[in-house]
Amino acid sequence: MITSIKGGEKAIDASHRLLAKRRRGNPAIAELSVDQIREQLTLAVDRVMNEGSLHDPTLAALAIKQAEGDLIEAIYLLRAYRTTIPRFGYTKPLETSEMIVRRRISTTHKDIPGGQFLGPTYDYTHRLLDFSLLEEAEDEDGLPVSTDDTFEEMNLCYGAGFLSRTDVVEAELPSDGIAVADLTREPMKFPSKRDQRLQNLTRGDEGFLMALCYSTMRGYGRNHPYVAEMRHGDVSVVMEIPELQFEVGIGTVRVTECRTIHMTVNKPDTPAHYTRGYGLLFGHCERKALSVAIVDRALRGPEFGEERRHPSQDEEFVLSHSDSVAASGLVQHLKLPHYVDFQGELQLLRQLRDEYEKRAGQADSAENENAG
Amino acid sequence: MSAEIKAFPSDDVNSSSRARWMTLLAEAPVADIEHHWQTLPHPSFKWIRRPEFGSAMVRGRASGTGAQFNLGDVTITRCTLQLITGEIGVSYVMGRDKRHAALAALFDAMLQHEKATSEGVVGKCVRAIAEQELRRRQNIARETKTTKVDFTMLTRGDDQ
């Protein structure tokens, strides 16, 4: 039951003042600028843009500053902002095969056509605190990387491309002309379709999706993945301009794309083959791209005749609980006053106790009579 | 073929297609456009639609090749203006930078005017912006290439 409550304005204003004071921290230390957050905390910015479902590094950085680094709060702020601006249209699908690649790896083949490039990654770091950063020494990684001056084209077709030409790997073919579901316009419906699932997972909470992905790997719905290709880089965003009726590039986005393949043997009428999972996200976020791809594949079970037995395979469970804004809203509402609910429940509890005691009293006296 | 070359083929740096220059003006850093704007005579114009913020929903394809899905919005600034000579300039630029959108629309209109009168100064600026953009993309590719990795597989007992 919802009941309204009044008052508290003065206390709330004072609370906001304390919040601003805490956000500023020690005034003797220089204030953090939004530009600094955008340029130097890029992975936090990327997470906020993904789950906030809005690509705008400056606004994501502002949200992080305003939320004192609470990324789930920042995600909420960015989502809320998106609803205040008009939508001018939908873009053409990103041509990720034409990405300006900053990183690209494959775990299925040592020599993939075009080569593998580690790019910037924490994968091969020692994961020891680097005290030189504490001393505010110039970060070596911040300096320009020395390169040679000759330029040679990179030719990076998709990994597993040659596999795709056989029937070993599932082909994903375009199905244009069908309306694309949009969760910002119409709510999720079950049974869900792939477009709804991929949009939901893209916006979903990284921790929740990673835990589900982890559960599939530990045996709760086994679908062992190989990363056919993980790439990160810049892609042009192309949109048909309504008043001109031709397609124009409006800017570039940095994205992470993960393509997984999973051995699938379940259906008796199909030979064993590899099926696919997919994750495409704004910014650089490989942990989440992997999680999205593997959960995407887990939710495709019915297509391949797989039994639905574990949480990661249950679309209602996964898709209804993936959103951090919805989850945080319901969980945090528990901190708001519930005085009337509680009084109501307390009355019920007292009534139940009275009845219990009455029953107990009757049982006691019945026992006494029997004994007597 | 490779992204940077496909987007900016060297023999297409002279291309005068409107979609191409609009793309270039949207993708280039605003500072580059600003730099060239300062070197040009500023035409008179009136606003048809002043710069305004909005968004566009970006789409992807499952596995890069399959069914489409909605990935998330990007912020956009757009505007429309008309030069005193009649040409209408339009811009749609990712992000929330009104100056960027305004300059892109001005250049769009000026380039149309120039195409009609075949003068060439604005075109020269855009070619310079295109070359700058090509270099920026090549530099990313060069940096990436420094991390090219060749994993080798070792088999035990194969020391001979």
Sequential DSSP letters for B18-51: HHHHHHHHHHS-HHHHHHHHTTSPPPPEEEEEEE
Residue A265 tokens read as 């043997």
What pLDDT is stored for residue B15 in this prediction?
45
**Chain A residues close to B18, C-beta within 8 Å:** 246
Strands B68-83 and A54-55: parallel
* Cα B60 from Cα A295, distance rounded (Å): 17
Flag whether residue A92 sits within 8 Å of chain B, measured between CB atoms: yes
- B37-74 pLDDT, tens per residue? 999 999 999 999 999 999 999 999 999 999 999 999 99
Distance set, CA A59 to CA A54, A261, B95 (Å): 9, 35, 9
Mean pLDDT score of chain A, rounded to an integer? 90
C-beta atoms of A154 and B141 within 8 A: yes
- Token pair 């020690």 in the structure block, residue: A26
In which element (H, E) is residue A228 found?
strand A225-240
Q: Which tokens hold the place of A366?
A: 């019945």
Identify the CA nearest to B54 among candidates B78, B34, B36: B78
**Closest by Cβ to A248, choosing from B22, B145, B148:** B22
Q: Which of A38, A244, A58 is nearest to B92 (CA)?
A: A244
Judge whether residue A366 has pLDDT over 70: yes
Does residue B3 surpass a pLDDT of 50? no
Find, among A212, A190, A182, the residue nearest to A291 by Cα: A212
Specify the higher pLDDT residue, B152 or B72.
Answer: B72
Angstrom CA distances, B94 to A56, A132, A237, B50, B74, stand at: 8, 37, 9, 16, 7
Mean pLDDT of B6-23: 62
- B151: nearest CA in chain A? A110
Q: Average of pLDDT values for A267-275? A: 87
Answer whether A155 sits within 8 Å of B1, measured CB to CB: yes
CB contact under 8 A, B66 and A259: no
Is B131's pLDDT higher than 70?
A: yes
Asked whether A319 and A202 are in contact (CB, 8 A), the reply is: no
Distances (CA, A) of A75 to A65, A195, A290, A329: 12, 22, 21, 12
Q: Which residue of A has its CA nearest to B9?
A: A153
- Say whether residue A240 is in contact with chain B using an 8 A CB cutoff: no
pLDDT score, position A224:
85
ipTM for this prediction: 0.88
Number of cross-chain residue pairs from A and B with Cβ atoms under 8 Å apart = 249
Can you give the pLDDT at residue A146?
A: 61
CA A89 to chain centre: 23
Taking each helix axis from N to C terminus, what angle separates B98-117 and B18-27, rounded to the nearest 10 degrees? 150
Q: Look at residue A258 and tell me whether its pLDDT is greater than 50.
A: yes
Q: Which chain A residues have a beta carbon less than 8 Å from that of B137?
A: 100, 234
Which span out of A162-176, A294-308, A356-370, B112-126 was modeled with the highest average pLDDT?
A294-308
User: Would you call A170 helix, strand, or coil by DSSP?
Assistant: coil
% of chain A exceeding 70 in pLDDT = 91
Across the interface, do A239 and B142 touch by the CB < 8 Å criterion?
no
Radius of gyration of chain B from its Cα atoms, rounded to whole angstroms: 21
pLDDT in tens, A213-257: 999 999 998 788 999 999 999 999 999 999 999 999 999 999 999
Q: Quick one: which of A294, A283, A262, A317 has its CA closest to A198?
A: A294
- DSSP, collapsed to helix, strand or coil, labels residue B155 as coil
Task: State which residue of chain B sits closest to A92, comparing Cα positions.
Answer: B59
B80 in Cβ contact with B112 (< 8 Å): no
pLDDT the model gives residue A212:
97
A84, pLDDT greater than 90: yes
- Minimum CA–CA partner of A259 in chain B: B63
Q: d(Cα B95, Cα A251) in Å, to the nearest integer?
A: 8
Nearest to A154 among B2, B78, B151 (CB): B2
Residue in B4, B78, B146 closest to A145 by CB: B146
- Chain B residue closest in CA terms to A275: B63
What is the model's pLDDT at position B4? 38
Alpha-carbon gap: B1 to the closest alpha carbon of chain A (Å)? 6
User: Are B64 and A259 an interchain contact pair (Cβ–Cβ within 8 Å)?
Assistant: yes
Indicate left, alpha or beta for B108 from its phi (over 0: left) and psi (-120 to 50: alpha). Answer: alpha
| Per-residue pLDDT at A158 | 59
How sure is the predictor about A7, in pLDDT bands with cuts at 50, 70 and 90? Answer: confident
The terminus-to-terminus CA distance of chain A in angstroms comes to 51
- Per-residue pLDDT for B136 more than 90? yes
What does the pLDDT look like over A325-338, one tens digit per residue? 999 999 999 999 89
Reduced to 3 states (helix: H, G, I; strand: E, B; else coil), residue A263 is strand
DSSP collapsed to 3 states, B84-123: CCCCEEEEEEECCCHHHHHHHHHHHHHHHHHHHHCCCHHH
Query: Which of B12, B138, B144 to substitute to test the interface with A, most A CBs within 10 Å?
Result: B144
From the CA of B89, how many Å to the nearest CA of chain A? 11
pLDDT score for B2: 38
Of B24, B60, B140, the CB nearest to A93: B60
Contact B27, A251 (CB under 8 A): yes
User: Using a CB-CB distance cutoff of 8 angstroms, which residues of chain B are in contact with residue A103?
Assistant: 144, 147
Query: Is B74:B55 a contact under the CB 8 Å cutoff?
Result: yes
Q: What is the value of pTM for the model shown? A: 0.89
Element containing residue A276 per DSSP (H, E)? strand A273-282
Question: Taking CB atoms and an 8 Å cutoff, what residues of chain A touch B81?
Answer: none
The closest alpha carbon to A88, from B99, B21, B51, B111, belongs to B51
What does the pLDDT read at residue A147? 63
pLDDT score recorded for residue B9: 39
CB A229 within 8 A of CB A242: no
Task: Look at A307 and A44; give whichever has higher pLDDT.
Answer: A44
pLDDT band at A370 (very low <50, low <70, confident <90, very high): confident
- Would you say residue A198 has pLDDT above 80? yes
User: Which pLDDT band, with edges at 50, 70 and 90, does A324 fall under?
Assistant: very high
By C-alpha distance, the chain B residue nearest A145 is B143
Chain B nearest-CA distance from A115, in A, is 7
Cα-only R_g, chain A: 27
Selected for mutation to probe chain B from A51, A84, A100 (highest B CB count within 10 Å) is A100
User: Could you tell me which residue, A153 or A142, shows the higher pLDDT?
Assistant: A153
Classify residue A93 as exposed, middle or buried by CB count within 10 Å of its CB (0-12, 13-18, 19+).
Answer: buried
Distance in angstroms (rounded) separating the CA atoms of residues A32 and B85: 47
**Touching B: A residues 18-77, CB under 8 Å:** 49-50, 53-56, 58-59
- Cβ of A49 within 8 Å of Cβ of B72? The answer is yes
